[in-house]
Amino acid sequence: MNNSNWESIERFGLDNLEMDADTPHAFCDLKLARWQTMLDCHFIEKKVLSGLPAERRSQLSVLDVGAAKGRMTKEFARMASLCVALEPFPPFYQYLRARFENIEIHQKTLNEYARIADKKFDLIFISGVICYLTDDEVPVFLKNAYNLLKEDGFLIIRELCPYPHWDQDAGLEIIRPSHTVISFLKQAGFKTVSCHRAYPVNLPYKLFSRWPNRLTEWLWRTLSHKITYPWWRIMADLNLFPHQSRSYLHYLVRKD
C-alpha cells in the first residue's frame, strides 16, 4: 500500500483499526475485509480441505506468501498444524512478528525461502504478489512454488483480473488477464488449473465508495450488512462469468 493510501486511511480516521493491505479501496472497511476473509476460507474449505483424507487434513501444512498483516495467516494458523508466513516488506514483517508468537515467519520472498526450505506444503496461498513481478520473474517464482508443494498439493493464487483483452500497468502493479496467468502456471509444470471469481459485485458498497453521502452510507451500513454476505456466498459458489470482470480471481491449481 502506497503513502497516498495510508494518508487516505488517516484522513478517514481509520488508522487505529486493524488495516488490511489487500482491501481494494483507499480506505478499508473492516466488515468488508472480514467478508473477504470469510469467502477466502469458504473457498479453501470447499475446494481443498473437503477433498483431503482426514489424516492429511489433521496434519495440514500451509505456506502463506505475501502475508502482509496476517489477514489469512490468522486463519491458516487455526486450520493447519504447520503455518509458515513469508513477508519481505519490513513494516509488515515486524507487524507479523508482534502479532503472532507461534508461527514461523520469514522476512523473505518466495524465491529466497525456496533456497533454504527444508519442508514441502499441502497448500500454498499467494496473495497480491504476482502483480509486482515482471514477465521474466513470474515463471521462476511459480516454479519455486511448484517445487515447494507436496504431491497432490494445492496452490491458490488471489490476484486482480482485468476485463477481457485489457492488459495494462496499474501503477507498480501489472494486472494480467487470466489466460496469461494460466499460461505461466502451465510453464511452471502445473496441469490442473481453474479460475474462480473471488468476490462478487457488492452494489451498496460500490455506490458508497463512488458517491459517499448519508444515503449511500446508510444503504451500505444496513441493507448491505444484512443480505450481501449470504448473496456473496451463493454467487461465489455459482462462479458465473469469472473472467468477465475486473475483480479478484482465485486460481486453483493442483500439483498432479
Supply the pTM of this predicted model. 0.80
12 burial level (CB within 10 Å; 0-12, 13-18, 19+): middle
Instruction: Give yes or no for residue 4 having a pLDDT over 50.
Output: no
Domain that holds residue 53: 18-254
pLDDT for 61 equals: 97
Pairing of strands 192-197, 104-106: unpaired
Average pLDDT, rounded, for the chain: 81
Residue 10 included in any domain? no
pLDDT for 184 equals: 97
Tens digit of each residue's pLDDT (9 = 90 or more) over 77-113: 999 999 999 999 999 999 999 999 889 999 999 999 9
Residue 6 included in any domain? no
pLDDT for 163 equals: 53
Residues with Cβ < 8 Å from 5, sequence gap 6 or more? 26
pLDDT for 7 equals: 34
As a whole number, mean pLDDT of residues 126-136 equals 93
More confident residue, 50 or 13: 50
pLDDT for 231 equals: 74
Instruction: Give yes or no for residue 222 having a pLDDT over 80.
Output: no
Residue 9 included in any domain? no
Residue 146 included in any domain? yes
As a whole number, mean pLDDT of residues 61-70 equals 95
pLDDT for 3 equals: 36
Q: Three-state SS for 55?
A: helix
CATH of the domain at 129: 3.40.50.150
Taking the C-alpha atoms of residue 146 and residue 110, their distance in angstroms, rounded to an integer, is 11
Instruction: Give yes or no for residue 66 having a pLDDT over 50.
Output: yes
Number of domains in the chain: 1
The 3-class secondary structure across 68-97, one letter per residue, is: CCCCCHHHHHHHCCEEEEECCCHHHHHHHH
Taking the C-alpha atoms of residue 143 and residue 228, their distance in angstroms, rounded to an integer, is 38
What's the grid cell of residue 214?
448519508
Instruction: Give yes or no for residue 235 having a pLDDT over 50.
Output: yes
Q: What is each CA distance from 76 to 84, 125, 141, 160, 191, in whole angstroms?
A: 9, 10, 22, 22, 25
What's the grid cell of residue 180?
496469461
What's the grid cell of residue 95?
507487524
Residue 47 included in any domain? yes
More confident residue, 10 or 142: 142
Taking the C-alpha atoms of residue 160 and residue 177, their distance in angstroms, rounded to an integer, is 9
As a whole number, mean pLDDT of residues 209-218 equals 82
Listing from the earlier edge strand, what are the strands of the sheet with 104-106? 104-106, 82-86, 61-65, 121-127, 149-161, 247-254, 192-197
66 burial level (CB within 10 Å; 0-12, 13-18, 19+): buried
Residue 109 included in any domain? yes
Residue whose C-alpha is closest to residue 247's, from 199, 209, 177, 210? 199
